[in-house]
Structure 1
Amino acid sequence: MSISAKDVKKLRDVTGAGMMDCKKALSEADGDMDKAIEILRKKGQKVSEKRAERDANEGLILTRISDDHKKASAIEINCETDFVARNDDFQKQANTFLDAAFDNDIESAEDLMKVEVDGLSVEKHLEQMVGKIGEKIEIARVVLVKTEGTLVDYIHPGNQLGVLVDFDGDLSDDTVGKDVAMQIAAMNPLAATRDGVDASVVEKELEIAKEQLINEGKPEEIAEKAAKGKLRRFYEERVLHEQKFVKDNGITVKEYLEQNDAPLVKSFYRMQLGEA
Structure 2
Amino acid sequence: MEITAELVKKLREKTGVGLMDCKEALKQSSGDMEKAIEHLREKGLAKLQKRMGRVASEGVIASYIHTGSKVGTMVEVNCETDFVANTKDFQEFAKDLAMQITASTPLYVKREDIPEDVREKEKGIYRRQALESGKPEKIVDKIAEGKLEKFYQEVCLVEQPFIKNPDVTVKELLEELIVKMGEKILVNRFVRFQLGETLEE
Partner of 2:60: 150
Provide the C-alpha distance between the structure 2 equivalents of 1:223 and 1:164, rounded to a whole number of angstroms.
39
Please give the TM-score of this superposition, normalised by the length of structure 1. 0.44
Q: What one-letter code is carried by the residue in structure 1 that aligns with 2:189?
A: S
Matches within 5 A, 1:15-34: none
Q: What one-letter code is carried by the residue in structure 2 that aligns with 1:204?
A: K
Of 126, 144, 152, which residue of structure 2 is paired with 1:209? 126
Q: CA deviation at 1:194?
A: 0.7
Provide the C-alpha distance between the structure 2 equivalents of 1:201 and 1:186, rounded to a whole number of angstroms.
23
Provide the C-alpha distance between the structure 2 equivalents of 1:199 and 1:168, rounded to a whole number of angstroms.
26
Q: Is residue 128 of structure 2 the alignment partner of residue 218 of structure 1?
A: no
Of 69, 86, 92, which residue of structure 2 is paired with 1:159? 69
Q: Is residue 93 of structure 2 the alignment partner of residue 176 of structure 1?
A: yes
- Indicate the percent of aligned positions where both proteins have the same amino acid: 43
Q: What one-letter code is carried by the residue in structure 1 that aligns with 2:124?
A: E
Q: CA deviation at 1:168?
A: 2.3
Partner of 2:192: 270
* Secondary structure of 2:191 counterpart: strand
* Secondary structure of 1:260 counterpart: helix
User: What are structure 1's unaligned runs of at least 5 residues?
Assistant: 1-146
**Higher helix proportion (structure 1 or 2):** 2
Q: CA deviation at 1:148?
A: 4.5
Provide the C-alpha distance between the structure 2 equivalents of 1:205 and 1:161, rounded to a whole number of angstroms.
27
State the Cα RMSD in Å. Answer: 1.8
8 Å contact kept, 1:254–1:264: no
Provide the C-alpha distance between the structure 2 equivalents of 1:220 and 1:166, rounded to a whole number of angstroms.
44
**Higher strand proportion (structure 1 or 2):** 1
Matches within 5 A, 1:178-197: 178-197=95-114
Partner of 1:251: 168
* Secondary structure of 2:154 counterpart: helix
8 Å contact kept, 1:154–1:181: yes
Provide the C-alpha distance between the structure 2 equivalents of 1:251 and 1:191, rounded to a whole number of angstroms.
19
Please give the TM-score of this superposition, normalised by the length of structure 2. 0.59
Stretches (4+) displaced over 3 A: none
Provide the C-alpha distance between the structure 2 equivalents of 1:259 and 1:186, rounded to a whole number of angstroms.
22
Partner of 1:200: 117
Q: What one-letter code is carried by the residue in structure 1 that aligns with 2:159?
A: E
* Secondary structure of 2:128 counterpart: helix
* Secondary structure of 1:159 counterpart: coil
User: What are structure 2's unaligned runs of at least 5 residues?
Assistant: 1-56
Matches within 5 A, 1:52-131: none
8 Å contact kept, 1:189–1:239: yes
Aligned residues: 130
